[in-house]
Structure 1
Amino acid sequence: MKRREFFKKGTTAAVAAGVIPLVTASCVGAKDMVYDRKQDKWFDLGTGKTGSNSRKKTVAYDVAVIGGGAAGICAAVAAARNGSKTVLIQDRPVLGGNASSEMRVHLNGVNNIKGKAERETGIIEEILLHNRFENEQESFPVWDHVLYDFVVREPNLTLMLNTQAIEAVMDGDKIKSALCWQATTEILFTINAPVYIDCSGDGLLAATSGAEYRTGREGKAEFNEKFAPDEPDGWQMGATLLMSSKDMGKPMKYSPPSYAIKYTHEGGHKRRKFAGFHEGIWWIEVGSDDDIIADFEENRHKLMGYLHGVWDYIKNSGKFPEAENLALDWVGSLPGRRESRRFIGDYIVSEKDMTEHKHFDDAVAFGGWSLDEHNPGGIENISEPPSYFHYHFEEVYQFPFRSLYSKNVSNLMFAGRNVSQTHIALSSSRIMGTCALMGQAVGTAAAICNKKNVLPREVGQKYIKNLQEQMLRDDAFIPKRPANDPNDLARKASLIFGSTTSSGDAKKLINGFSRDIDGKNNHWQSDGLSADLQLEWESSISLSYVELKCDTNLQRNIMMRKDSRNDELYFNGIPNELLKSLSLEARVNGKWIKLGVIEENRTRLIKFKFDTIKTTAVRIKMTETYGAENVKLFEVRCYA
C-alpha cells in the first residue's frame, strides 16, 4: 500500500497497516509463532521436561491505561486512588515518555503567563515535588526511577513495562480486550477491562478499535482558524533528537560518524539559535506530510545524521571557540515525537476555543503554552524559523471533557497529544504538563464509570459535576470553576480563624478557589510561626478526614531543567513556602485531643485520616515550612 493510500482508505486500512504482523492472527493465520508454541523443542535440563511454558495470560482490571508518559501516569494514579483496580501499560523500559532519560525533554506546562508561571497542581505537581526531594542532582536516569517509585507505591495500581498494546478485540462499539505483547517475557497478555484510556501518543490500541481519528493540518475554513494553512494538508510536526555534552577541561577532538549529514547553517533563519547548544538543540527535527508513524525509522536515522552534522559544525567550523573543551556525553537514539494521530471526540477543540477563552461547562483541564507550531520541514527547511509561536496567552484556557473520549468507541478515553483537537490547538496543548491534567481528568472519570456503571459519554452528560468536584478535591484546578462540594463540612463551619494573619482572610479557605488567580487573593497567611488555624461548628459533627492545600508558590516552575535555572520563573529546589511540620487536634467533650502529626510533609495537598469522632472544633497547628517565615494556606476541607 502506498503511504498516500494509507489515509485515503480510512480507518480500516489504517488498522490493518498499524498492527504488528507476528501477533495478529488475521495477518499470519491462527497458528503462528506466538499463539501456538506446540512446535517449541525446549528441553529443560533442570526439570527434565520437554515442551514450552504457556506464553499467554488473561488478566482483568477495572481500568486499563495505555502509555506511561505524564498523561498516562496521572490517569492511572487518579483511577487507582479513586477506587479502580488499574493497570498501566508502557512499551518502554522506563516511564516518562518524552521527559524520560531516553529523550530528556523538559516537562513544561503553563510556564509563563503575564511574566509569571501559573503552574499545574494535582498529581503532576505531586510528581515534580517528589522529584525535588529524591533527585536534587537533577539526573534524568534517576528521574526515571522517581517516576517508577511514584507509580509502584500505589496499592491499587499494576505496572507493566516493555509492553505494547497492539490490538483491540471489539464487542460491538466497545473494546472487549486489549492484546498486549511484553517483549522481555514473550508473553501475550489479554487484558480485559470495562474502560480503556489510550495515552500512548500514537494511539495504536485506539486505532485498531476503529476509533475515528485524523492526521495533518486543517485548512482555515473548517474551524475558522487564523493560523491554519489556507488548504488542509498532511503535515505533522516533527520529532526531535537531543544530546548533551561535557566540559572535559582540555581540547577535545570530534570526528563525525559515517552516517552524519553535513550541516553548514547557510541560509539559516535568525531564530535558529545555538544558545545552550551544550544541552541539545530543539530544532534538530524532522516531520512528515504523510504517514509519520510509518516514517519513524527513516526519520530516526536522518535525525541521528543531522544531530552529528550539527555537532560537527559546532566543533569544527571554527565559529564556536567555546566548544573546544566540550565532548558529547549523551546522545539520544529515540526521537521525541510531537504529533501523529488525533482521535475524534464529541467536540474538537480548535484555535479560537483557546485564544478567545471559550467557557466549557464540562471543563476539566487547562493550558496556556503558546500556539507553538513547528515549521513544515524542520531542519530540512532552515530558512524558516524553528517554530512560529503564533500566539502568546495572557491567561489560561479551558479544555473540555467532551474532547477526551471517543466519538464512536463507547468505552475509550484518551489524554495527551492524541485527543480531539485541531493541529493548531495541538501546538499548545501537546505540552506535557497540560497532557498530565487531561490524564488526571480521564483517570478520575474512569473511576466514576466503574462506580456508577456508566460509559464516558454518560459521565459527561450526567456526572460532570461529580467529576469536576472530585478533581478539585484532588487538587486539580479548573479555570473559573470554584469547588462547591456539598459534603465538605468546612463550608458549614460557624467560625474559621487564624491565630495571626499577615495577608488574606481565613474565611477565603472555603471560597472554592485553591490558588490566587486573576488578580484575586484566595489565601490566608500567618504572621510568623508557629501558627494555628481553627474551625468551629455550632453543633457536634462526625469527622473522619481533614484536608489542606498549602503553598508551593505556583508562580515559579519546579520542573527539572538541564540548565538548573533558579530565578523568578524557575526553582530547582524544594519550594521554601511548602508547609513541613503540622499537627491536627479536635475538641471532644470540651478537651483537645491529637488526631495526627506530620513531621516532613512533601505535598501541597495534605490529608489527615482518622477514626470517626464527634467534635465541635478542629485546630491545625503549623510549626515549620521549608524556609518561608510565614505559612500560607489556600483551602481547608472536612469530611465525615
Structure 2
Amino acid sequence: MKMNSRTDQMDGMNTAKNVLPTTEHTVQFCVVGGGLAGLCAAVAAARRGISALLMQDRPVLGGNASSEIRMWVRGADGEDMRETGLVEELELENCCRNPDMNFSLWDSVLYGLARKEKNLTLLLNCSCLDAKTEDGRICSVTGWQLTTQRYHCVKAQIFADCSGDSILAPLTGAPYRMGREAQREYGEDIAPKQADSCTMGMSCLIQARQTGHPVTFRAPDWAAHYTENDFPFRLDLSSPERWTGENFWWMELGGTKDTIRDTEEIRDELVKMALGVWDFIKNGGKTDASDWELDWMGFLPGKRESRRYEGAYILTQNDVRNEGRFEDLVAYGGWTMDDHNPSGFETKEKPNTFHPAPSPYGIPYRCLYSSAIKNLMFAGRNISATHTANSSTRVMATCAILGQAVGTAAALAIQAGKDPAGLYPEQIDQLQQELMKDGCYLPWHRLRPDAVMKGARITCGREPADILTDGLERRIDGIDHAWEGMPGDELILTLPEARYAGILRLVFDCDLNRKSWENAHWYLKRYAMKCNTFRDDQPVLVPQTIVRAFNVDVDEGDGIWKPILTETENYQYLQKIRIGRLIKRVRLICRQTWGSKTVRLYAMGLWEK
C-alpha cells in the first residue's frame, strides 16, 4: 500500500503564469471538485450565508453521476433508507423537470442548484494545480481554466477537497493512503493478508437504445474481440434478452495499476473493451439485440478509488459492521462492502464480492477533516477510511450526504472562528441538529423542536397531531412517524402566547421507497437514472405522496387569519416558509397531492431562524 509522500509535489508554476492572467478570489470556503459531494458541500455552506467557491475541472457537475460518466447513484440498502437532504432535493427536481431522465437535463439540474445560490461562485473547466501552505494551513489554491486561458487563485478560511483523487494531498503534504491495508493493521478479516497498492478499477460505460427496427453495428478493427467465455459472472447469457437491464459496471480495469497516473492508458483499453462488448452483444449470436443501437459511450472513466485522506479518525471494516454508533455521527452508509477485484475484466473470477454491512451504519465527523492540515476538509470517496470501509462509503448518495455534512460543518466553524477540528466535541450536537433541520436523516438521533415551539400544540379539528413534532421524519424500525389526513383538512399550530417566528418548516412524505412508481424498472426506484432506453419506457413522476397545493395562514393574535403562502405546484418534500413576525397561530391546509388520496406529513414546526 502506497503511503503519503511529497514526491509529486509541484515545484512551482511554470513561466506561463507570468504571461497569462490570474483572477484573485477571496471567499470563506473553497471546495475543489464538483461531484455530488462537492456540490452539496458548497451549496450547504452558501445557504448558511458563507461566501463559497466551487472549483470543478469539468464543464458539468456531478462527477460519476454526470452525463460524462453516467454511473447510477446508489446509497444505503433497504426500505426507508433513502438519503434525504440536498440529494433528495436534486432527485425531486429532476423528477419534475426531467421525467424522461435525459442526462443533459440532469446536468442542468445540478448546474441550477449551484447557480441559484447567491453566495456561491462557480468555476467550471478549472483544474486545481497548485496550493500554498503556511504553518500547517492552506493559504490559497490555484486552478487553470481551460476555456478562458487564465489562472484563478482562491484564498479561503477553510478548504474542502471533494475531487475524488484528493489533489490537495500531494499539493499540501496532507497524509493520505492509496491501496489496501493488511488484515493485521486494523483486524479486518476481508482485507488481504499483505498490504499492497491495488485499488478498485475504473469503467467507461455504454448505453443502448431500442429502436423498433433492425440496426447494424460494425466494430472498428482496433476494438477488442470477445467470446461468451470472456463473460463469466458478468454478462447474463441465460436468455437472449437478459442483457437489457445492464449498466455494464463490470467493464472495469486499472486496479492493479495507478488509477491516477495511468488513467489515460487505462481509458484507451476501456474504450476498446466497450466497443468489443457491444460488438459481442450485437453480433456474437448469443443475445437478441437486433433492434438496439449503441446510443452513448463514455470516454471519461468513472473512478471507484484512488487516494484516501488520513483524518482524525480512520473508519474501518469493524466500525461498519458494528453499526458505527459514534457520538459525532454526521452521515450514514448502508451499501454493502462492495469490494471489486483489482484485476477487473482481466480475471475470470467474480468481479466483486458483497461483504455484508448493516444498513444503516454511522460515519463520524472526525473522518472528514485532515489529521495534519488544520483547515482542510474532505468528502466523497476520499474520506478517511480503510480500503474495506471505503468499498461501502464510496457510493454517491453516501458521498452527497457526507458533502452536506462538510459544508454545514465548515459554515459553523467559520461562524465560530474555529478550524474544523474545533467543532469536536463541543459543537457536534449543534451540527447534528442543523443537518437534521436541513432534511438529513441521522440514525438514532431526533430533531429537537426550536425554543419558539415550547408549549405549542398542533391539532386537526379536535384531534391532536403531536407526531408532527416528535423529531423523527420517516418510518423507522417499522414504526411510521407520519400524520395522515385528507385534502382540505386544517392543521392548526397554536402557541401559548404570541411569539416571533422566522420560518415554518414542513416535511411532506416523499415516498422514500417509491412504491407509487408501480411500473418503473427496479433500478429507477433506487435513484431515477436510466441505463438502456426501451421503446415502452414511461416517464418518472413526482412521488404521489408529496403535497402539491397548500395554503399557509397566520393569526397574529387578533383572531384574523392572514395569508402567507398559496402554493399550487410544490414538488419538494422539505419546505421552509418565511413568516418573520409575531404570531399566535399557524394554519396549514393541504389541498392536493400528486396522486395520493390522503395527505401525509412528517413535520410541522416553527423556528426563530
Match of 2:255 in 1: 288
**1:463 deviation in Å?**
1.2
Between the aligned partners of 1:276 and 1:117, the Cα distance in structure 2 is 29
Match of 1:388 in 2: 353
Match of 1:607 in 2: 576
Of the three residues 591, 595, 601, the one matched with 1:623 is 591
Q: Which amino acid aligns with 2:422?
A: E
Between the aligned partners of 1:611 and 1:93, the Cα distance in structure 2 is 39
**TM-score using structure 2 length:** 0.93
Match of 1:375 in 2: 341
**1:563 deviation in Å?**
5.4
Q: Percent identity?
A: 36
* 8 Å contact kept, 2:235–2:243: no
**1:355 deviation in Å?**
1.5
Match of 1:45 in 2: none
Query: Residues 207 and 462 (structure 1 numbering): CA distance in 2 closer, same or farther, change over 3 Å?
Result: farther
Between the aligned partners of 2:588 and 2:216, the Cα distance in structure 1 is 62
Q: Which amino acid aligns with 1:89?
A: M
Between the aligned partners of 2:378 and 2:456, the Cα distance in structure 1 is 43
Query: Residues 252 and 535 (structure 1 numbering): CA distance in 2 closer, same or farther, change over 3 Å?
Result: closer
**1:494 deviation in Å?**
3.9
Between the aligned partners of 2:230 and 2:57, the Cα distance in structure 1 is 40
Between the aligned partners of 2:452 and 2:469, the Cα distance in structure 1 is 10
Q: Matches of residues 181-220 of structure 1 in structure 2 within 5 Å?
A: 181-220=144-183
**1:282 deviation in Å?**
1.2
Of the three residues 130, 135, 147, the one matched with 2:93 is 130
More divergent stretch after superposition (230-239 vs 271-280): 271-280
Q: Which amino acid aligns with 1:515?
A: R
Q: Does 1:596 align with 2:596?
A: no
* 8 Å contact kept, 1:284–1:379: yes
Between the aligned partners of 2:144 and 2:462, the Cα distance in structure 1 is 59
Query: Residues 278 and 464 (structure 1 numbering): CA distance in 2 closer, same or farther, change over 3 Å?
Result: closer
Query: Residues 385 and 585 (structure 1 numbering): CA distance in 2 closer, same or farther, change over 3 Å?
Result: same
Match of 1:310 in 2: 277
* 8 Å contact kept, 1:260–1:308: yes
Query: Residues 83 and 137 (structure 1 numbering): CA distance in 2 closer, same or farther, change over 3 Å?
Result: same
Between the aligned partners of 2:185 and 2:472, the Cα distance in structure 1 is 37
Match of 2:522 in 1: none
Match of 2:141 in 1: 178
Between the aligned partners of 1:358 and 1:247, the Cα distance in structure 2 is 44
Match of 2:459 in 1: 497
Structure 2 counterpart SS, 1:389:
strand
Q: CA RMSD in A?
A: 2.1
Between the aligned partners of 2:422 and 2:205, the Cα distance in structure 1 is 43
Query: Residues 247 and 510 (structure 1 numbering): CA distance in 2 closer, same or farther, change over 3 Å?
Result: closer
**1:571 deviation in Å?**
9.3
**1:79 deviation in Å?**
0.3
**TM-score using structure 1 length:** 0.88
Deviations 1:25-78 (A, max 9, x none): 3xx5xxx1x2122xxxxxxxxxxxxxxxx6111111111111111111110110
Structure 2 counterpart SS, 1:636:
strand
**1:586 deviation in Å?**
2.0
Deviations 1:249-279 (A, max 9, x none): 4433322223312222426434543643576
Of the three residues 4, 9, 17, the one matched with 1:35 is 17
Q: Does 1:560 align with 2:539?
A: no
Match of 2:509 in 1: 551
Between the aligned partners of 1:534 and 1:222, the Cα distance in structure 2 is 57
Larger of the two Rg values belongs to structure: 1
Match of 2:521 in 1: none
Of the three residues 263, 270, 289, the one matched with 1:323 is 289
**1:498 deviation in Å?**
2.0
Of the three residues 312, 315, 338, the one matched with 1:349 is 315
**1:621 deviation in Å?**
1.3
**1:211 deviation in Å?**
0.8
Between the aligned partners of 2:149 and 2:367, the Cα distance in structure 1 is 36
* 8 Å contact kept, 1:216–1:289: no
Q: Matches of residues 468-617 of structure 1 in structure 2 within 5 Å?
A: 468-485=432-449, 487-490=450-453, 492-499=454-461, 506-526=465-485, 528-556=486-514, 557=525, 559-562=527-530, 572-587=540-555, 588-613=557-582, 615-617=583-585
* 8 Å contact kept, 1:272–1:386: no
Between the aligned partners of 2:367 and 2:584, the Cα distance in structure 1 is 44
Deviations 1:332-389 (A, max 9, x none): 11111100000000111111211221311100001111111111200011x2112111
**1:521 deviation in Å?**
2.5
Q: Which amino acid aligns with 1:591?
A: I
* 8 Å contact kept, 1:564–1:572: no
* 8 Å contact kept, 1:168–1:206: no
Q: Which amino acid aligns with 2:186?
A: F
Q: Matches of residues 17-28 of structure 1 in structure 2 within 5 Å?
A: 24-25=12-13, 28=14
Structure 2 counterpart SS, 1:399:
strand
Match of 1:158 in 2: 121
Match of 1:13 in 2: 7
Structure 2 counterpart SS, 1:468:
helix
Match of 2:62 in 1: 96
Structure 1 counterpart SS, 2:331:
strand
Between the aligned partners of 1:460 and 1:182, the Cα distance in structure 2 is 36
* 8 Å contact kept, 1:586–1:594: yes
* 8 Å contact kept, 1:288–1:295: no
Q: Which amino acid aligns with 1:75?
A: A
Match of 1:244 in 2: 207
* 8 Å contact kept, 1:268–1:384: no
